[in-house]
Amino acid sequence: MSFQHTTVLLNETVDAAFTQPDGLYVDGTFGRGGHARLLLSRLGARGRLVAFDKDPDAVAAATAGEGAIADPRFVIHHASFAAMAGLLPAGQVAGVLLDLGVSSPQIDNPERGFSFRFDGPLDMRMDTTRGESAAEFLARADEHHIAQVVRDYGEERFAGQIAKALVARRAGGKPVRTTTELAELVAGAVKTREAGQNPATRTFQALRILVNAELEELEQGLAAALALLQPGGHLAVISFHSLEDRIVKTFIARESKAEVDRRAPFAPPKRPLRLKALGRIRASDAEVKANPRARSAVLRVAERMADEGVPA
């Protein structure tokens, strides 16, 4: 079955990441290749694009079939972007882009278990070849752990009630195994509902973040990007919810300030200023109207500075 994907902030992100035609670039979240294909179209003969994706379906889309990218300047790795520092030369990358959202093919395929709109197995793994599914986590975790995950990663105020209901159902011999079962259980546990939002939205988000270690990998990936970027290189990151955006915003803000030893204020900084924030971009009204999934997208852009804090 074929699933379509509309790339969010396509031109804005590629414009932000692109700095020179013959540079080395990283697309840490290939998805279905919207950003990668546009960036490739702008590369010169000596330019290179290295892509990463945890999802084997995304890697297959890049390497096989009608949409395969047959370009010697392009290579893709079946791996998380958190691993890119070990595969690329430090200080030699002209631009890194990360699109942290779940792709439409993942959401729209019932077998992946990302959406309460379709009945399917409660999986939620980006990489279906390894790791624990959401159903497996809910089958083993205690009530406190489940509540903590739903509260911290979903920002769900009814996390305690949801966890209690999940454990009670499991104790009754009917653990939650499908997306529909989870959505119905959450709907029964959540007493008040936000207008226009399914009551299970926050719980599904929380479990997806946990199963894929999304926040931990984001922190690792941002650190890797900083190590890889050359002076003048650009970092462009699209986030779709407040937890991700907070991490990106905090990282850029922290690296945009030099850490000075107050006991020796005239000595070189202990940690030099390494990034310069270049801005924050939201999807236009026209894009949101054409693709409602772009509504929550936030693109943050930063430039790598030379170690002494001056652009190269």
pLDDT tens-place string over residues 42-91 = 999 999 999 999 999 999 999 998 889 999 999 999 999 999 999 999 99
Q: What average pLDDT does range 85-113 have in this prediction?
A: 94
Q: What is the pLDDT of residue 241?
A: 94
- The residue range of the domain holding 143 is 130-211
Domain assignment present for 78: yes
Here the CATH number for the domain that contains residue 53 is: 3.40.50.150
Separation of alpha carbons 32 and 10, rounded Å: 12
Distances (CA, A) of 234 to 8, 116, 177, 226, 248: 19, 36, 42, 9, 14
pLDDT-based confidence at residue 262 (cuts at 50, 70, 90)? low
- E strand or H helix that includes residue 259: none
Co-location of 15 and 85 in the same domain? yes
Q: What is the pLDDT of residue 300?
A: 98
**Beta-strand (E) ranges in the chain?**
24-27, 48-53, 74-78, 93-99, 229-239, 275-282, 298-304
Domain boundary among 194, 211, 228: 211
Helix axes 159-171 and 143-154, enclosed angle (nearest 10): 140
Separation of alpha carbons 150 and 242, rounded Å: 15
pLDDT tens-place string over residues 212-225 = 999 999 999 999 99
Domain assignment present for 30: yes
Here the CATH number for the domain that contains residue 139 is: 1.10.150.170
Mean of the per-residue pLDDT values for the chain? 93
Co-location of 160 and 239 in the same domain? no
Q: State the total domains in the chain.
A: 2
Co-location of 244 and 297 in the same domain? yes
Domain boundary among 157, 182, 211: 211
Q: What is the pLDDT of residue 260?
A: 62
Q: What is the pLDDT of residue 270?
A: 59
